[in-house]
Amino acid sequence: MTSPDAVPGLDALRPRLPSPVQERADERFTRRGLRLLLKRDDLIHPELIGNKWRKLAPNLAAADGRTVLTFGGAYSNHLRATAAAGRLLGLPTVGVVRGHELAGRPLNPSLARCAADGMRLHFVDRAAYRRKSDPRVLAAVLRETGAEGAYVVPEGGSNTAAVRGCVALGEELRGRADVVAVACGTGGTLAGLAAGLGPGQRALGVPVLRGGFLSGEVRALQTAAFGGPRGDWWLDEWFHFGGYARTTPELDAFAQDFEARHGLPVERLYVAKLLYGLLALAEEGAFARGTTVAAVVTGAPFAA
């Protein structure tokens, strides 16, 4: 199995691995006999943050110097991480962005960062974007961007190499917690994490998208990466707040309060929903007294 810190060329980027595990005293948990740990994957690397490091590192090794082409929305953490990797490693990168209407307009701060890191941006309409794994659509994109021969990483970065790269996240938490919780987009991080945990440990995924499709995706990712299901994991689909990038005043207030209590910069697209969900579950009595819950801090807020 590829260990990200053993990827040639990537160790020069000095990832902080294993990432720190920090206990936080939070009376909302301690009152219920629960311990809260933060797995600080946000500290692995200042630009290839969190699970983006774990998922990209094996892919960057596999790209072996070729152009890396990948996909994302206008605020994608994955696109920014790929662009940063391209700059740091001297790899050409192409970002295929959902939303033809964005072409020719001023770039938002996230895409502006991608462009500043040297990523070539290619905007496609939503219908084509949806069909991006269709070989003919992909071939057309590669042709139009002049990137034939590129190493293609799927949207969100979740392929077999990425899922295997996230096994180490679980391994780093062996014996440390009873429940390890992570926010999910594609589910690739959960798929690998669950496979790396030890006996008796369970992984909880909190999807930030609506839809209820994720458990099938996680199973498919595990089957592709490991040949079958691995680990003991479940999903709680109640904390998407209306869908990707949706928020409410209550969620914002919660995140601000968490930042003030714990001095942790709370990434809003994923980490805020995870932490909110864990607190709600703790308050409902979903975890037995004596449970240690580790929340994976998969990212950090983007500062333009």
Ligand X SMILES: *Cc1c(COP(=O)(O)O)cnc(C)c1O
Work out which of 186, 206, 233, 239 binds ligand X, going by CB under 6 A: 186
Cα 121 to Cα 138: distance, rounded to the nearest angstrom: 15
Contact call for residues 52 and 299 (beta carbons, < 8 A): yes
Residue 152 DSSP one-character state = E
Residue 242 is which amino acid? G
Sheet of strand 151-153, all strands in order from the earlier edge strand to the far edge? 120-124, 93-98, 68-72, 151-153
Choose the stretch contacting ligand X; rule: CB under 6 A; options: 2-10, 19-27, 120-128, 183-191: 183-191
Burial, 154: exposed, middle or buried (Cβ in 10 Å; 0-12, 13-18, 19+)? middle
| Catalytic member of 76, 110, 133, 215 | 76
| CA 29, chain centre distance (Å) | 25
Is 277 an interacting residue with respect to ligand X (CB under 6 A)?
no
- Binding status of residue 271 toward ligand X by CB under 6 A: yes
Q: How far is the CB of 144 from ligand X (least distance, A)?
A: 26
Give the nearer residue to ligand X in terms of CB position, either 37 or 271.
271
Residue 210 DSSP symbol: S
Q: Indicate whether 184 belongs to the interface with ligand X (CB under 6 A).
A: yes
Annotate 198-216 with b (16+ C-beta within 10 A) or e (fewer): eeebbbbbbbbbeeeebbe
Region near ligand X per CB under 6 A, out of 16-24, 94-102, 111-119, 265-273 = 265-273
Residue nearest to ligand X (CB): 299
Question: Which residue type, as a one-letter code, is found at position 17?
Answer: L
Smallest distance from the beta carbon of 274 to ligand X, in angstroms?
8
Out of 58, 73, 95, 185, point to the residue binding ligand X (CB under 6 A). 185
Q: Which of residues 64-103 bind ligand X (CB under 6 A)?
A: 77-78
E strand map for 73-116: 93-98
Q: Is 196 in the site for ligand X (CB under 6 A)?
A: no
Sequence-ordered list of residues with C-beta below 8 angstroms from that of 116, at least 6 positions apart, any chain: none
Judged by beta carbon, residue 56 or residue 142, the one nearer ligand X is 56
Nearer to ligand X, 142 or 177 (CB): 177
Instruction: Please say if 76 is a catalytic residue.
Output: yes
* Of 45 and 52, CB closest to ligand X: 52
The verdict on 298 binding ligand X (CB under 6 A) reads yes
Nearest to 44 by CA among 21, 24, 75: 21
The answer to whether 165 contacts ligand X (rule: CB under 6 A) is no
- Interface with ligand X in residues 41-60 (CB under 6 A): 50-52
- Which residues are part of the catalytic machinery? 76
Question: Which residues lie near ligand X (CB under 6 A)?
Answer: 50-52, 77-78, 156, 158, 183-189, 267, 270-271, 298-299
